[in-house]
């Protein structure tokens, strides 16, 4: 095990951990010694991932919870702390951004997008950061999007919510310093489940510097680097894994 990326004994929570980028991060931390709390709306899907983690000899807890609803978040955290006693690394990864004309957004859909991409992550980060500060510290990684810092027509509420997430992260980093590190991992286009709705050209080419979307596994080193105890001088940072937007 490379000592820079040895997470043996660490407790890692990943929202949206049953598929896409979240699943890749779960697998990466488990392979490097961590125990995992895997959450998404579908507990059975989380349990399938938890079985993978246990097969590596790690502990794993699957929790079905909507990461945009505070009552479900609070219940999820109660279960997680009851099982493990602490959380060392929390990754706010769950998100959604349906594409449509801004004029066609309903109030309900707008609230759902903002809830999952900003309101929920705020609750999760604040509650966990407080527990971390009262304990031995920890790391929070908020997964954002390149759409928060560049024009993203057709998914405006998503980009706006992620921009709020970015601002929130820097403020939480200041509020809970020095023992809790809070950073943003800004992801560009990745070939996850969402890419099934893209055109064939979008799945092959991108306007970023690398000229292509990312493979899901290409998010892993960014997450590991931000979470590593050896990144102890990195907080309030905006880390881009977007192919060069």
Catalytic residue among 81, 105, 158, 233: 158
CA distance 213 to 48: 27
**Partners of residue 196 on adjacent β-strands:** none
81 flagged as catalytic: no
- Residue 155 DSSP label: -
> For residue 4, with 0-12 CB atoms within 10 Å meaning exposed, 13-18 middle and 19 or more buried, which class applies?
exposed
Instruction: Give Cβ neighbours of residue 106 (< 8 Å, ≥ 6 apart).
Output: none
CB 77 within 8 A of CB 123: no
Name the one residue in this structure whose structure tokens are 């919870």. 65
Q: Among all residues, which ones are annotated catalytic?
A: 158
């Amino acid at each position: 095990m490379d000592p820079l990326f040895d997470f043996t004994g660490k407790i890692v929570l990943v929202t949206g951990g049953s598929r896409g980028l979240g699943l890749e991060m779960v697998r990466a931390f488990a392979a490097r010694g961590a125990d995992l709390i895997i959450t998404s709306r579908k507990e059975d899907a989380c349990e399938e991932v938890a079985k993978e983690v246990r097969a590596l000899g790690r502990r794993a807890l699957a929790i079905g919870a909507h990461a945009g609803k505070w009552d479900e978040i609070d219940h999820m955290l109660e279960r997680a702390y009851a099982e493990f006693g602490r959380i060392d690394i929390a990754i706010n990864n769950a998100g959604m951004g349906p594409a449509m004309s801004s004029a066609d957004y309903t109030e309900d859909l707008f609230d759902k997008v903002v809830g999952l991409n900003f309101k929920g992550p705020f609750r999760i980060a604040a509650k966990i950061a407080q527990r971390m500060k009262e304990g031995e510290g920890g790391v929070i990684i908020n997964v954002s999007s390149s759409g928060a810092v560049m024009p993203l027509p057709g998914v405006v509420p998503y980009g706006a919510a992620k921009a709020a997430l970015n601002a929130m992260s820097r403020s939480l980093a200041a509020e809970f310093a020095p023992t809790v590190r809070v950073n943003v991992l800004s992801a560009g286009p990745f070939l996850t489940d969402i890419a099934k709705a893209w055109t064939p050209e979008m799945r092959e080419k991108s306007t970023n510097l690398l000229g292509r979307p990312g493979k899901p596994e290409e998010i892993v080193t960014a997450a590991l680097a931000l979470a590593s105890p050896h990144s102890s001088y990195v907080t309030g940072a905006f880390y881009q894994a977007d192919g060069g937007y």
